Amino acid sequence: MSFESFLVHDKLENYEDPVKYNKDWLPLVEKYRSDLADATSEEYKIKLPKPIDTLIAEQFNPLDYLYKEKLLTKEEFAITDSSATDLAAKIAKGDLTSVEVYKAFAKRAVIAHQFTNCALELFLDEGLKRAEFLDDYYKKNGKTIGPLHGVPISLKEQMNYKNKITHGGYVSQLKHIPTEHGVTIQILENLGAVFYIRTNQPQTLMHLDSNNNLIGLSKNPFNLLLSSGGSSSGEGSVVAFGGSAIGVGSDIGGSIRGPSAFSGCHGLRPTTKRVSLHGGVSAGAGQESVGAVAGPMARSIDDIDLWMKTYINDGKPWDLDHASLPMPWREVPKPAAKDLTIGVMYDDGLVRPSPPIVRGLKDTVDKLKAAGVNIVEFKPIRTKEAYETVHKMYTCDGNYMQHKLLSESGEPLTKLTKWNLNYGDGSKAYTVAENRELNVVRDSLRHEYTEFLVNNKIDFILSPTYNNVAPKSEEVYNWSYTSLFNILDFPTLVFQTGLFQDPAIDKWTEEDLKYEFRSELEKLENSSYKPDEFIGAPIGLQLSGRRYFDEEVVAAGKTIVDILKADLFKH
């Protein structure tokens, strides 16, 4: 079974236009790349130990290298390995300045970028000026400007940034320069955040990976051979590497959760309409069958809580975006283990998890049980129907908008763009009546899952984020574990287990090798896991709750990470 044999609906012949692209657009792409190279501060740059291609081939772990080689000072490590919650508190008390904090993160972000290719845009001088402004403000007023005063925050590039190119991974949008910030960036700025890096994302924003015609692939900070995930690809790299205190991603099929799980940080896909998406580039304008969301990625669950709480309660997105719900972020205390009932979905019935994921899930369940959590098995409910339905939702405009955004420049289509444009019925333009039928299926799924959880008093579903740890770049096809919770619109937290792939133990067993694949997709996915090629990949899992029980999901996430001792700041 080959990748190409899946591409049945649409040969995608009317997208690319090499002549137009090379003549009209490639010069803009080259300018964009050279601007990025110029912006990669010489002050902070390190000398790579070997050429990057060699490091990639060798499955180099740049995070290990960072610590071993002490590429930061002790003070810089102390800052960048603090939670945003602690940093904000220290800045507010006057124990740290915004500039100190900023410089440490800027340095670590530049190193992250050198190894992982996470940044689409760096604007370190602007970041410094902003940090200086905040320190001045603090000095003059004796107080912070807001609860995120001085916190360095990385941004997925897709969100409109005032007076900066915002392309969303589409070459055709290199001419799109918004005149104002998207609402979420505006709110974070109002709260006191410092911006200095905008991060990579794939063409179409619809890969669990990162390739595009701008700067290409982002890499995993624990193993450069592997992908950092996507579509919030660069956020995964930079946050897990420690180059920003909190990152902002977005997710319509797994785009916050894939990068978080793969790259080695935590990430929240909130329920829809709690975080504003107003002002940004995507093919989804007016699409509401499966809602996109924005949400935080961080190395501490406390920081996810901090971000959501301050963003919602202080930022009041509903005053700037009619679509955001005026639903305050509730203070939900960290639950005791014994008060939690978690349904575990070991396998979604579509694609079998690989050995490290099986181990990660088993180990987690054992520790949770030992701590007193009530664990029950959660048998997948209509997962195949859910997967087929959400795929149809992704393309049911017949890829009208994707085609418009891609063909305008005639840019070459990447491998996974070809894959996702063939989701569902590919280029078939659905009628409104057909789209509504998909919505009815979706609603019946939501109803059934909700009823099951309520009637069985199950608080959360624990599941793999993906059937594997971080895949090799451009070898990630299956979204079934993540997109399930998009069609359900269940808030879902990816948390790290603190475990990493180990080639010595995470092997297919004899029995595994006799397994009869349930589908060609499963075969394709399972075949790509070869233990020796995934060394040290983080093992992250998913915790999902009912719609709008985001606070409970995050609070339970804290309890779980405590039990697992999966604190990401310990090195």
Q: Which residues are catalytic?
A: 156, 231, 255
E-state strands within 94-245: 119-122, 153-156, 197-199, 219-220, 223-227
Give the residue, chosen from 5, 13, 142, 285, that forms a contact with a copy of itself under the rule CB under 8 A.
285
Distance CA 77, CA 96 (A): 14
Task: Transcribe 363-396 into DSSP letters.
Answer: HHHHHHHHHT-EEEE----SHHHHHHHHHHHHHT
Residue 464: phi, psi to the nearest 5? -60, 155
For the CB of residue 429, give the shortest distance to a copy of itself in the complex, in Å.
Answer: 5
For the CB of residue 549, give the shortest distance to a copy of itself in the complex, in Å.
Answer: 7
For the CB of residue 450, give the shortest distance to a copy of itself in the complex, in Å.
Answer: 4
- Asked if residue 456 binds a copy of itself (CB under 8 A), the reply is no
Enumerate residues 6+ apart whose C-beta is below 8 A from 285: 401
Distance CA 481, CA 350 (A): 9
For the CB of residue 441, give the shortest distance to a copy of itself in the complex, in Å.
Answer: 9
Pick the stretch among 41-49, 397-405, 476-484, 493-501 that binds a copy of itself (CB under 8 A).
397-405
Neighbouring CB atoms inside 10 A of 57's CB total 12
Neighbouring CB atoms inside 10 A of 485's CB total 25
* Contact (Cβ atoms closer than 8 angstroms) between residue 482 and residue 542: yes
Q: Give the angle 357-209-546 at the CA atoms, nearest 5°.
A: 60
Pick the stretch among 40-48, 87-95, 221-229, 546-554 that binds a copy of itself (CB under 8 A).
546-554
Judged by beta carbon, residue 407 or residue 439, the one nearer a copy of itself is 439
Binding mask 414-433 toward a copy of itself (x if CB under 8 A, else -) reads ---------------xxxxx
Task: Transcribe 457-476 into DSSP letters.
Answer: T--EEEEESSSSSSPBTT--
Distance CA 481, CA 297 (A): 19
For the CB of residue 284, give the shortest distance to a copy of itself in the complex, in Å.
Answer: 8
- Asked if residue 436 binds a copy of itself (CB under 8 A), the reply is yes
Please work out the total of residues on this chain that contact a copy of itself, with binding judged by CB under 8 A.
42
Judged by beta carbon, residue 341 or residue 435, the one nearer a copy of itself is 435
Judged by beta carbon, residue 19 or residue 285, the one nearer a copy of itself is 285
For the CB of residue 316, give the shortest distance to a copy of itself in the complex, in Å.
Answer: 10
Two tokens, residue 331: 């203070």
CA nearest neighbour of 246 among 105, 126, 136, 342: 105
Judged by beta carbon, residue 432 or residue 513, the one nearer a copy of itself is 432
Residue 218: phi, psi to the nearest 5? -95, 150
Q: In whole angstroms, how far apart are CA 321 and each of 192, 275, 308, 325? A: 20, 10, 16, 9
SS3 assignment, position 296:
strand
Amino acid at 335: P
Judged by beta carbon, residue 57 or residue 454, the one nearer a copy of itself is 454
- Asked if residue 398 binds a copy of itself (CB under 8 A), the reply is yes
For the CB of residue 487, give the shortest distance to a copy of itself in the complex, in Å.
Answer: 11
Binding mask 234-273 toward a copy of itself (x if CB under 8 A, else -) reads ----------------------------------------
- Asked if residue 447 binds a copy of itself (CB under 8 A), the reply is yes
Pick the stretch among 60-68, 95-103, 479-487, 544-552 that binds a copy of itself (CB under 8 A).
544-552
* Contact (Cβ atoms closer than 8 angstroms) between residue 61 and residue 223: yes
Residues 158-197 that bind a copy of itself (CB under 8 A): none
Judged by beta carbon, residue 104 or residue 396, the one nearer a copy of itself is 396
Pick the stretch among 4-12, 173-181, 225-233, 287-295 that binds a copy of itself (CB under 8 A).
287-295
Judged by beta carbon, residue 37 or residue 327, the one nearer a copy of itself is 327
| Burial label, 371 (beta-carbon count in 10 A; 0-12, 13-18, 19+) | middle
Give the residue, chosen from 363, 401, 507, 518, that forms a contact with a copy of itself under the rule CB under 8 A.
401
Two tokens, residue 527: 């075949």
Two tokens, residue 20: 């137009």
Residues 298-357 that bind a copy of itself (CB under 8 A): 318-319, 321-323, 325-327
Q: In whole angstroms, how far apart are CA 162 and each of 172, 280, 294, 564? A: 18, 11, 18, 41
What is the residue whose two structure tokens read 């001045």? 136
Judged by beta carbon, residue 339 or residue 434, the one nearer a copy of itself is 434
For the CB of residue 456, give the shortest distance to a copy of itself in the complex, in Å.
Answer: 13
Give the residue, chosen from 128, 369, 547, 567, that forms a contact with a copy of itself under the rule CB under 8 A.
547
Give the residue, chosen from 72, 438, 462, 568, that forms a contact with a copy of itself under the rule CB under 8 A.
438
- Asked if residue 400 binds a copy of itself (CB under 8 A), the reply is yes
| Burial label, 345 (beta-carbon count in 10 A; 0-12, 13-18, 19+) | buried
Judged by beta carbon, residue 125 or residue 451, the one nearer a copy of itself is 451
Residues 488-507 that bind a copy of itself (CB under 8 A): 489
For the CB of residue 273, give the shortest distance to a copy of itself in the complex, in Å.
Answer: 9
Q: Which residues face 220 on adjacent strands?
A: 223
Pick the stretch among 92-100, 198-206, 216-224, 393-401 that binds a copy of itself (CB under 8 A).
393-401
Distance CA 137, CA 92 (A): 12
What is the residue whose two structure tokens read 């790259």? 263
Distance CA 168, CA 205 (A): 7
Residues that bind a copy of itself (CB under 8 A): 278, 285-289, 318-319, 321-323, 325-327, 396-398, 400-401, 429-440, 443, 446-447, 449-450, 454, 489, 546-549
